[in-house]
Amino acid sequence: MPKQPVFIHSSLMEQLVQEARISKRQRMNYNFHQLEDAANRMLNAIEPESYIQPHRHVEPPRDEAFLVLRGRGAILLFNDDGVVKHGFLLDSTSENLGLDIPAGWYHTIVSLERGSVFYEVKAGPYEPTKAKEFATWAPPENALEAPAYLEKLKKMASRFY
């Protein structure tokens, strides 16, 4: 028997936002996929206080797509030395609703509005040891420098909107 359809509705997003707000990481995923599925599909509620260390998907190479369903966020793409090469504003009230990121780009997403929810898709299966290559030029998520770096990312993102 096939899997059951899952309706993406406002109450599901609101529940996820509430879970993100009480989470230490200030974000929360809702996975539509099983870890072994060929495609990873998820909702990601991200609050403005959430820092996502820049990373890329190279082994194996995987493209990643983001769609904003609610709120606003900025996606930054970096070169190998940590220089921002591109920035994209995603805003659920504008024409800029999504971005497809080719494999190999270091990237991060910064939430610019409380209650923001994004839909993410990338190739699976999910393998925790191979899923991401973190940028060594950016602080890890739990580092003391992470909040200051997040503020720097927000300032960099503001150049693109």
Per-residue confidence (pLDDT) for residue 160, from 0 to 100: 86
pTM here? 0.94
The encoded tokens of residue 86 equal 């591109």
Per-residue confidence (pLDDT) for residue 130, from 0 to 100: 74
Per-residue confidence (pLDDT) for residue 73, from 0 to 100: 98
Per-residue confidence (pLDDT) for residue 37, from 0 to 100: 85
Per-residue confidence (pLDDT) for residue 124, from 0 to 100: 83
Query: Distance from CA of residue 16 to its chain's centroid?
Result: 14
What are the pLDDT digits (tens) for 36-52? 888 999 999 999 999 99
Per-residue confidence (pLDDT) for residue 161, from 0 to 100: 78
125 contacts: CB under 8 Å, gap ≥ 6: 35, 36, 37, 38, 40
The encoded tokens of residue 151 equal 């503020």
Spans of the chain below 50 pLDDT: none
Per-residue confidence (pLDDT) for residue 2, from 0 to 100: 76
The encoded tokens of residue 125 equal 């299966």
Query: Domains of the chain (ranges plus CATH)?
Result: 29-160 (2.60.120.10)
What is the full DSSP assignment across the chain? -PPPP----HHHHHHHHHHHHHSTTSEEEEE-S-TTSSEEEEEEEE-TT-----EE-BTTB--EEEEEEESEEEEEEE-TTS-EEEEEEEETTSS--EEEE-TT-EEEEEE-STTEEEEEEEES---TTTS-EE-TTS--TTSTTHHHHHHHHHHHHGGG-
